[in-house]
Amino acid sequence: MVFVEVRTRRGAAGLAAESVNPAKLRRMWESALGYCEQRAIDLERVRIDVVAIDLDSRGAARSVEHF
């Protein structure tokens, strides 16, 4: 089971990946854990990925990173 958080920044200061802070990661894990508990999904089979997309001012992708 993979949970994916997609973060996008368009011409803004900072990178999309920088918008995932410890508090956001904690909320992501809490949500994933709650979902898995409700459905009896083994936590050993769960991961959280982050896809960070930085766009230029026209909306074209400058970079895409998968963590």
pLDDT band at 57 (very low <50, low <70, confident <90, very high): confident
Q: Which of 66, 65, 64, 1 is nearest to 32 (CA)?
A: 1
Residue 63 confidence (pLDDT): 92
| Predicted confidence (pLDDT) at residue 12 exceeds the cutoff of 80 | no
Q: Residue 63 is encoded by which pair of tokens?
A: 């970079």
For 59, the token pair is 């909306």
pLDDT digits (tens, 9 = 90+) for 14-56: 789 888 899 999 999 999 999 999 999 999 999 999 999 999 9
- Residues comprising the chain, all counted: 67
Helices (H) and strands (E) in the chain, counts: 1, 3
Is residue 13's pLDDT more than 80?
no
Helix (H) or strand (E) holding 33: helix 22-39
Model pTM above 0.85: no
